[in-house]
Structure 1
Amino acid sequence: MRVPARLLSLTAVTAAAALLTGCFAGTGSTGSGTGERIRLAMMQPPRSGLSPLSDDAFKLSRWSTAETLVKLDARGDARPALATEWRRSGRTWTFAIRKGVTFHDGTEFDAEAVVRSLRAAADASPEPRILDGVELTARADGDRVVVTTATEDPLVPQRLSSPQLSVLAARAYRGKTVNPVGAGTGPFELTKVNGTASAALDRYDDYWGERAKAPGIDVTFVPDGTARAAALRSGEADIVEAVPVSQAALLDEERITEVPMPRTNTLYLNTSGGPFAKAALRAAAREAIDTGSIVAGVYEGRADAAEGLLGPALPWAAELRTDVRRPTATKAKGETITLGTFTDRAELPEVAATLQQQLQQAGFEVRLEIREYANIESDALAGEFDAFLLSRATVLDCGDPAAYLYSDFASDGSFNLSRLADSSVDEALTKAGGTATGAARRKAVVAAEAAVLATDAAIPLLHERVVQGDAERVVGAAHDPRERELVTADTYVR
């Protein structure tokens, strides 16, 4: 039975805070200038040694240490960053490179450096998911970079905004590994990484843009959500990433911010084998699930029940969405399924337990398998589960959901947990990816979403709202729906 957050004993919270005492005392050098270093508690430790070619890239972006050619504005439109302007000619895009930029090791930022980083990403195995289905080449032309794709791609600037395509100094690339320490161009220099425990960054005083207001950042990785919340309560942390819903009620409401996220909790059903290879049983699973009770019970109302894969962070999706014709359900007759999820997001195990009850009431036998994400992802991608519960960002990479839809549901998508291979879905995804930005593209994206939903290969449950904690003395912390920014040059502690 779940205990409401308001009834939780503060003993556990106090104990968790005690475990963190000293963790945020300052693991890096003091940097130059005045002010206090920012103590940051993050949810997930690095999975790939902070390589920008992995999801760790978003940590580098949230710490303002690694930068890209392009950034996105609030609407998802491309704006200058390390590139000052660009133009398109068919399959070719030409980017003018910003002058006066240096890497943190003092070497010059130039077109050759951009080409080196883009080639490293294009040649990586596995390649960054922002490049799923994209064949990209790059060459230097004086102080410009010429990017060419195998087919016309209207989203090249948006793709180049992905933190996985950050530009790093030559020193970062050694064989097959990428080490970002001292190799970025942002207002903070990554100076120290202590495995999966902590990291430190100092202000980079030769930054090409606005000088950072804080002298540095001390990062501690705290997978336990109760401990993260306790760190904010006790004053051990200044900024806390992803406060669990169960802990939010224990915090001062003025210290937390809820942001509707382009993030969907989805139940992916394995269409390649097992019970869910049958569309009728996938439909039975869909009809068995009560998302409203999950939102009210597990998330205490701090989430939005899903009507599609794209949620309120993209309001145009609801405006364009129409009814979807789904398969007819058959009654389950004791089919055994294995449902997997992970512990890194505190609510997911409880959601999985609720799904287990709902599916068993519908006639399925459900086994749960719950591990840390780093220990379960490979099995999920290999199709070892009949169903997998995932909290998935839908516009994380390029500000456009077409890339997420392709990655997760195309026959050759790199993150196809459902192992879906459907020609109608592939056709809709290809059309959405090739449509020019604007109203026509949004319509094509919603049509692709409908094609996926019509297969019941994925059952969207809810759209998360991230709960971020900021201490009273923190000024200017970013509350970014895309999870790209957290500490910026304007963030400091009073």
Structure 2
Amino acid sequence: MFPIRRASAALALGTSVLLLSGCFAASGTAEGGGDAGDRVSVAMLLPPRSGLSPFSDDAFKLSRWRTAETLVQLDAAGDAQPMLATGWSRVDPTTWRFELRDDVTFHDGTPLSAGQVADVLTRATRASPPPRILDGVELTATPDGEDAVLVSTAVADPLVPQRLSSPQLSVLAPDAYGPDGRVDPAGHGTGPFRLTDVQGTAGATLDRYDGYWGEPAGVAGIDVSFVPDGTARTAALRTGTADVVEAIPPGQAPLVDDELVHEVPMPRTNTLYLNTDRGPFADPAVRAAAREALDRAALVAGAYEGRADAAEGLLGPALPWAAGLRDDPAYTAALENRPEPAPVDGVPITLGTFTDRAELPEVAVLLEQQLEAAGFVVTQDVREYSAIEADALDGAFDAFILSRATVLDSGDPVAYLASDFGCAGGFNLSQFCDPGVQAALDEAAGLEAGPERRAATSRAEAAVLGADAAVPLLHERVIQGESARVDGVARDPRERDLITTGTGVGAP
């Protein structure tokens, strides 16, 4: 059947090419000089949903265009690094002091000030809904002189610097914030690219900002088009209409030159949650039988066409430190001490998942086959996520397949582990509570970011896997397209960076 699918996709691509001229924004001219040949064209998956408000998920677009910036940025390990703040220190258990750069101007010429930073952070706490990174966090910000800001929380929070790296806490000029609560980022950021025009849900134009405090941009500007249709985005890459393309569908990737597609590991794990509270999987030995029945390689090949990574743990390649910590003797001991699988013959189980992510129903079919081969009798329940979430959280299923983000906006996985496997976790699909796991989670949550916190996080992961509360299946990837004329494009698992000051264009 593969040749037929390939031919159909090729026909669809050919049709899409006829429509591309109406999909892509026209190239502009940068304030620093240059013409269309110096610019980068980008085809993005989703249009803005909240008028590019930095308090919404649209903030990640502003970050990927490098037009809005935060006090802090994260390195590959998730550790905080300077951005608009040059450094920080912990004044007391609940207060941090952030020192600001003294050479930053907003795109409208206004200088960055401690008062404006404190005002923006205060506005974020009052936004409705508030930025995800502040969910459950009582935060206050006040100027400390002209070049520093004090950030306080109601309780001790070792992740305050990481929280301030969230694109939803980007700092914009005073004129960006209207009296009606609306926020206009156009011409009000601090990044190397100035947002000059927004064409609703069609596209956006950005020009190089020559007053940037850091390394100047290597291209004259960015021309963005929002192209939800995957076939059209792929065609844009093939025809050279776009230099950079978000999220090439896996089924379309074989139709593009291999040198133009790059697979980026995502902090997202496809996981089988097992109900540890009632039903067959309340027995650890039956959970072990389910775990041993699974063939991860077959899931990757069948549902993801080989474009995913078979899971060895809950935390995948997007967290580069996770794999190395699994060599620790305590980690391996936790897995070696798991119960032996029980013999299974005709054990009925209910398996739930949802249709909103296209691959999950196919994963469910493959898992059903694997589990039934091991002796389970599987009944599937597949619905839209909005219709199935409440039942899943109530423990209505013996097993549930979920594509789960393992790193939240702080760049740290402890909140995910606590939510899913803590005794008071708000997303505990496994109905799981274990004193040893809870102690490991509490230890990790109390440590500041760095090697000790990562080691404690790894021990918590091992404790969860040792109990077979969940069986990680695979780690997802996203396919990013880059034309032959562009280089220096970021391939960021957290989807915060895309076009950077190091991005350049040349002859194809």
TM range (shorter): 0.7 to 0.9
Q: Which moved more, 1:279-288 or 1:29-38?
A: 279-288
**Are 1:302 and 2:310 an aligned pair?**
no
Provide the rounded CA distance (Å) in 2 between the counterparts of 1:214 and 1:384.
52
Which runs of 5 or more residues in structure 1 are unaligned? none
| Partner AA of 1:97 in structure 2 | L
Deviation track 1:410-454 (CA, whole Å, cap 9, x = no partner) reads 46656x262756363444322112124443222210122234335
Q: Which moved more, 1:304-313 or 1:251-260?
A: 251-260
**Are 1:112 and 2:115 an aligned pair?**
yes
**Are 1:488 and 2:500 an aligned pair?**
yes
Provide the rounded CA distance (Å) in 2 between the counterparts of 1:52 and 1:419.
34
Residues 331-370 of structure 1 aligned to structure 2 (within 5 Å):
333-343=347-357, 347-355=359-367, 357-358=369-370, 362-370=376-384
Alpha-carbon distance change, 276 to 470 in structure 1, aligned in 2, over 3 angstroms: farther
Check whether the contact 2:361–2:382 (CA below 8 A) recurs between aligned residues: no
Check whether the contact 1:308–1:449 (CA below 8 A) recurs between aligned residues: yes
The residue number in structure 1 matching 2:477 is 465
Shift of 1:114: 1.6
The residue number in structure 1 matching 2:71 is 69
Specify the SS of the correspondent of 1:182.
coil
Check whether the contact 2:486–2:503 (CA below 8 A) recurs between aligned residues: yes
Specify the SS of the correspondent of 2:18.
helix
Residues 78-97 of structure 1 aligned to structure 2 (within 5 Å):
78-91=80-93, 92-97=95-100
Provide the rounded CA distance (Å) in 2 between the counterparts of 1:236 and 1:139.
47
Provide the rounded CA distance (Å) in 1 between the counterparts of 2:258 and 2:408.
27
Check whether the contact 1:28–1:191 (CA below 8 A) recurs between aligned residues: no
Shift of 1:78: 2.2
Shift of 1:9: 4.8
Specify the SS of the correspondent of 2:98.
strand
Alpha-carbon distance change, 108 to 300 in structure 1, aligned in 2, over 3 angstroms: same
| Partner AA of 2:86 in structure 1 | T
The residue number in structure 2 matching 1:316 is 324
Shift of 1:402: 2.0
| Partner AA of 2:324 in structure 1 | W
Check whether the contact 2:408–2:415 (CA below 8 A) recurs between aligned residues: no
Check whether the contact 2:430–2:470 (CA below 8 A) recurs between aligned residues: no
| Partner AA of 1:93 in structure 2 | W
Shift of 1:122: 3.3
Check whether the contact 1:159–1:397 (CA below 8 A) recurs between aligned residues: yes
Aligned residues: 487
Alpha-carbon distance change, 102 to 135 in structure 1, aligned in 2, over 3 angstroms: same
Specify the SS of the correspondent of 2:251.
helix
Deviation track 1:322-349 (CA, whole Å, cap 9, x = no partner) reads 2436687776755544421424xx6445
Deviation track 1:355-382 (CA, whole Å, cap 9, x = no partner) reads 45545663121132257xxx77986997
Residues 140-219 of structure 1 aligned to structure 2 (within 5 Å):
140-142=143-145, 143-170=147-174, 171-172=176-177, 174-175=179-180, 177-219=182-224
Shift of 1:234: 1.6
Q: Which moved more, 1:146-155 or 1:480-489?
A: 146-155
| Partner AA of 1:403 in structure 2 | A
| Partner AA of 1:487 in structure 2 | I
Provide the rounded CA distance (Å) in 2 between the counterparts of 1:57 and 1:332.
50
Provide the rounded CA distance (Å) in 1 between the counterparts of 2:364 and 2:237.
28
Residues 223-302 of structure 1 aligned to structure 2 (within 5 Å):
223-268=228-273, 278=282, 286-302=291-307
The residue number in structure 1 matching 2:10 is 10
Alpha-carbon distance change, 334 to 412 in structure 1, aligned in 2, over 3 angstroms: closer
Provide the rounded CA distance (Å) in 2 between the counterparts of 1:123 and 1:25.
34
Shift of 1:139: 1.3
Q: 1:57 aligns with which of 53, 59, 64?
A: 59
Deviation track 1:247-294 (CA, whole Å, cap 9, x = no partner) reads 22222122122334433223456779x969956676665455432101
Provide the rounded CA distance (Å) in 2 between the counterparts of 1:275 and 1:47.
41
Provide the rounded CA distance (Å) in 2 between the counterparts of 1:164 and 1:136.
14
**Are 1:442 and 2:446 an aligned pair?**
no
Provide the rounded CA distance (Å) in 2 between the counterparts of 1:116 and 1:79.
22
The residue number in structure 2 matching 1:418 is 429
Provide the rounded CA distance (Å) in 1 between the counterparts of 2:135 and 2:221.
35
Alpha-carbon distance change, 276 to 417 in structure 1, aligned in 2, over 3 angstroms: farther
Check whether the contact 1:269–1:458 (CA below 8 A) recurs between aligned residues: yes
Deviation track 1:446-482 (CA, whole Å, cap 9, x = no partner) reads 1222343355554321123332211011122112233
Provide the rounded CA distance (Å) in 2 between the counterparts of 1:332 and 1:172.
62
Which runs of 5 or more residues in structure 2 are unaligned? none
Alpha-carbon distance change, 275 to 5 in structure 1, aligned in 2, over 3 angstroms: farther
Check whether the contact 1:339–1:385 (CA below 8 A) recurs between aligned residues: no
Shift of 1:94: 0.9
Specify the SS of the correspondent of 2:353.
strand
RMSD across aligned C-alpha pairs, in angstroms? 3.6
Which entry has the higher C-alpha Rg, 1 or 2?
2
Specify the SS of the correspondent of 1:342.
coil
Shift of 1:22: 3.1
Check whether the contact 2:354–2:361 (CA below 8 A) recurs between aligned residues: no
TM-score (norm. length: structure 1): 0.84
TM-score (norm. length: structure 2): 0.82
Q: Which moved more, 1:452-461 or 1:437-446?
A: 452-461
Provide the rounded CA distance (Å) in 1 between the counterparts of 2:444 and 2:181.
33
Alpha-carbon distance change, 38 to 54 in structure 1, aligned in 2, over 3 angstroms: same
Provide the rounded CA distance (Å) in 2 between the counterparts of 1:380 and 1:127.
27
Specify the SS of the correspondent of 1:223.
coil
